[in-house]
Amino acid sequence: MAIRVYSEWYTFRIMKKYILALDQGTTSSRAIVFDQEGTIQSVAQKEFQQIFPKPGWVEHDPNDIWASQAGVAAEAISKIGINGKYLSAIGITNQRETTLVWDRETSQPVYNAIVWQDRRTSSYCDELKAQGLAETIKQKTGLFIDAYFSASKIKWILDNVEGARTKAEQGKLAFGTVDTWLTWKLTNGKVHVTDVTNASRTMIFNIHTLSWDKELLKIFNIPENMLPEVRSCSEVYGETGTTLFASKVPIAGIAGDQQAALFGQACFEPGMIKNTYGTGCFIVANIGTKPVMTKDLLTTIGWKIGNETIYAVEGSIFIGGAIIQWLRDGLGLFTSSAEVEKLAQRVEDSDGVYLVPALSGLGAPHWDPYARGMMIGLTRGTTKAHISRAALDAITFDVKSITDCILEETGIQFKELRVDGGASVNNMLMQLQADVMDRIVVRPKITETTALGAAYLAGLAVGYWNNVNEIQKYWQEDKRFTPGIGREKQQKQYRTWQRAVERSKGWANEE
């Protein structure tokens, strides 16, 4: 009898169809299998080598990226006893801006992937600013001139790898961000595409015309023939042609990681905002079907489905949860990150201690690479509990500075902030965030929103889900944090913290 019951359960299980999301990140590759309710059925993850050839340089081996991603894809589906035949589609989400160039004939990279964190082209970007090109590039791309984005990295490879520029001009080389590389490898070199979200982070893509911009290509001296075709975020780009799966599986969804998280959080209406609390914090707001150029934020593409393009504004905070890691590893205030909440709860407030987490300079809305971290207000009575509380406050203050900027520069009147990422499990942090913003903070049951967004985009393309209204039903709230009695105090402390931020600016500037 038991054998029969198990057999019936097993038959039912393998008859179900699933969506496989490939989540290729900066330090690891992950694969997650989702069912029709958006529930996680299986997860596999593998870290890969980080390469630092010189100070400020960060690279990855493209073949490591592919091998790790292929490995976890196979592992994730084998964990639940299925094969490719039971996958309706594959969705891809990825670290953005990271730049790869490879030989079209051999599929071999001509150089390592230059990672988004890499700063080797900073001086070249300074030259572009000196030439007065900042406004042209901002108006066309929604981006600031910065080594963060792909264009200057492509130029560096063409200028510094022997023979690369000649081969590129002959049409023998291909450029791609990580999504393009994975799709190329999955299809055995038959498909060379990217999506609008990844293209919008290259600094050579016009977000108004949704095409590669010839004027920008001329500025960066990049041959157009090496660029991928730009497609929507939800359509069938091709089928797997590798030995990874026994049967062919449609590749049907692509989006950069933060845009995928916005979609996975079901932020489908203009004015809806999400924040991912990771190493940094990434606040992204849906601004609807028309791009809005802002002074201190990035304007980017949220997603494109069919003929409709949704735009977004984004504020990036370089140090978020990493400040907790620094207190743990750098100062040794506690042994595990989870302890910070318990420590902070021992005190009513930070007792006048303020922490500016500018360990890597200040991102939005300040954009000051010369700012440095600062702790101020210390007295003989200061304890590690006060410093822990100041760190949590600092994270929430940073996020408020972005949401205030979004409000001021776009007019968005948002009611709630949807949150995800590792630090979002800290209830005290989330309550402080609600208090200082005077807005509701909502944490979903499934916080793997980046992979979930890629899965949703792929599933929509193949009819696994019918529309975004169906997807919206599967988004479920885990916990809601409402502004409480501490909000006036938090907001007053925020104003004092802003004074500390001003004092941190320009600290490392030699002038």
Place of tokens 């509701």: 440
Q: Which residues are annotated as a binding site for ATP?
A: 26-28, 279, 321, 325, 422
458: Cβ–Cβ under 8 A, 6 or more apart, which residues? 19, 21, 88, 89, 90, 91, 234, 250, 251, 252, 253, 464
Binding residues for glycerol: 96-97, 148, 257-258
Q: What angle do CA 104, 108, 114 make, to 5 degrees?
A: 105
pLDDT of residue 10: 45
What is the sign of the dihedral through the CA atoms of 186, 189, 194 and 195?
negative
- What is the pLDDT at residue 262? 95
Which pLDDT does position 277 carry in this prediction? 86
Q: pLDDT under 70 in the chain at which residues?
A: 1-15, 242-243, 510-511
Q: What is the spatial distance between Cα 216 and Cα 229, in angstroms, rounded to a whole number?
A: 17
Q: What is d(CA 24, CA 47) in angstroms, rounded to the nearest whole number?
A: 10
Q: What is the pLDDT of residue 480?
A: 95
Task: Confirm if 144 and 126 have CB atoms less than 8 A apart.
Answer: no
- Of 228, 259, 258, 245, nearest to 84 by C-alpha is 245
pLDDT in tens, 385-409: 999 999 999 999 999 999 999 988 8
Q: How high is the pLDDT of residue 441?
A: 96
Structure tokens at 7: 């057999």
Distance of CA 196 to the CA centre of its chain: 15
CB-CB contact of 283 with 403 (8 Å): yes
CATH class for the region spanning 18-257: alpha beta
- Find, among 28, 24, 14, 11, the residue nearest to 77 by Cα: 14
- Strand ranges for 306-451 from DSSP E: 308-317, 354-356, 374-376, 416-420, 440-444
Thinking of the domain 266-444+476-510, which architecture would CATH place it in?
A: 2-Layer Sandwich (3.30)
Q: Give binding residues for sn-glycerol 3-phosphate as ranges.
A: 26, 96-97, 148, 257
Radius of gyration in angstroms for the set of CA atoms belonging to the chain, rounded to a whole number: 23
DSSP character string of 421-487: SGGGG-HHHHHHHHHHHTSEEEEES---HHHHHHHHHHHHHTTSS--HHHHHHH--EEEEE---TTH
Q: Helix 122-130 crosses helix 134-141 at what angle (to 10 degrees)? A: 100
Q: Burial-class residue 295 by CB neighbours within 10 Å (0-12, 13-18, 19+).
A: exposed
Residues making up the binding site: 26-28, 30, 96-97, 148, 257-258, 279, 321, 325, 422, 426
Structure tokens at 367: 């954009």
3-state secondary structure 72-135: HHHHHHHHCCCCHHHEEEEEEEECCCCEEEEECCCCCECCCEECCCCCCCHHHHHHHHHCCCHH
The CATH 3.30.420.40 domain(s) of the chain lie at 18-257, 266-444+476-510
For residue 121, the model assigns a pLDDT of 87
Which amino acid is located at 271 in the chain?
G
